[in-house]
């Protein structure tokens, strides 16, 4: 989903909804995307999912990337690993978000694909997904994914997951 051409009517004049380093939507842009998708779901149905990505840094021994280089690499990697219908945003200093519009339980497949893609380019990150449920909204799914991304479940060399747990299905 290319949201770069859609202005946010709620944004204050002069307030950008795009991150200057990556060109992705920022937190304000992300919240606008979530709001639009939630309204679409309420009107037409569907259970999209969200993925939170906390970037820890480059894998040891893969070279040192500077802050902006690392962030651009993560943005490009998430964009390539996501589907055309997904939306990627940079929502914090080292936090990214992906909206899987055609989600449901498939968001957990996307979670693993994003995790592998980051590992392949030498990035240590915590990647957590949550699906929107019929009894809740995307905001709740995002808060759960964002909270879980802060807990230790990092991509490590050899696809080893530390403190791994199965995805939450509620």
* Average pLDDT over all residues of the chain: 79
pLDDT of res. 164: 36
Q: Which of 35, 44, 62 is nearest to 124 (CA)?
A: 62
Q: Does position 2 have pLDDT exceeding 50, yes or no?
A: no
Compute the distance between CA of residue 73 and CA of residue 111 in angstroms, rounded to an integer: 18
Q: Does position 27 have pLDDT exceeding 90, yes or no?
A: yes
Compute the distance between CA of residue 136 and CA of residue 152 in angstroms, rounded to an integer: 26
pLDDT of res. 125: 93
Task: Name the residue with tokens 């696809």.
Answer: 159
> Per-residue DSSP letters for 70-84?
HHHHHHHHHHHHS-T
In the chain, % of residues over pLDDT 90: 49
pLDDT tens per residue across span 104-162:
778 999 999 999 999 999 999 999 988 887 767 777 788 888 777 765 444 444 443 33
Residue 8: Cβ within 10 Å count: 19
Q: Which residue has the higher pLDDT, 12 or 31?
A: 31
Q: Does position 163 have pLDDT exceeding 60, yes or no?
A: no
**What are the structural domain ranges in the chain?**
27-159
Question: What SS3 state is found at 129?
Answer: strand
Q: Which residue has the higher pLDDT, 150 or 70?
A: 70
Provide the whole-model pTM: 0.77
Residue 116: Cβ within 10 Å count: 13
73-87, 91-105, 107-121: segment of lowest average pLDDT = 91-105
pLDDT of res. 132: 83
Please name the CATH architecture into which domain 27-159 falls: 2-Layer Sandwich (3.30)
Q: What is the mean pLDDT of residues 67-91?
A: 95
Q: Does position 8 have pLDDT exceeding 70, yes or no?
A: no
Task: Give me the helix-helix angle, 107-120 and 67-81, nearest 10°.
Answer: 140
* DSSP element (H, E) containing 96: strand 95-100
Is residue 23 within 8 A of residue 122, CB to CB? The reply is no
């Amino acid at each position: 989903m290319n949201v770069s051409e859609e202005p946010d009517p709620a944004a204050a004049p002069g307030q950008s909804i795009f991150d200057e380093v990556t060109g992705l939507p920022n937190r304000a842009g992300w919240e606008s995307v979530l709001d639009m998708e939630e309204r679409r779901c309420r009107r037409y149905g569907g259970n999209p999912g969200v993925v939170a990505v906390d970037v820890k840094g480059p894998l040891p021994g893969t070279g040192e990337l500077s802050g902006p280089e690392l962030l651009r690499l993560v943005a490009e990697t998430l964009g390539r690993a996501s589907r055309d219908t997904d939306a990627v945003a940079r929502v914090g200093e080292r936090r990214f978000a992906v909206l899987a519009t055609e989600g449901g339980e498939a968001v957990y497949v996307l979670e693993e694909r994003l995790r592998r893609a980051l590992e392949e380019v030498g990035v240590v990150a915590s990647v957590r997904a949550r699906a929107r449920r019929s009894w809740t909204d995307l905001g709740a799914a995002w808060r759960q994914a964002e909270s879980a991304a802060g807990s230790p479940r990092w991509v490590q060399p050899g696809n080893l997951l530390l403190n791994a747990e199965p995805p939450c299905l509620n």
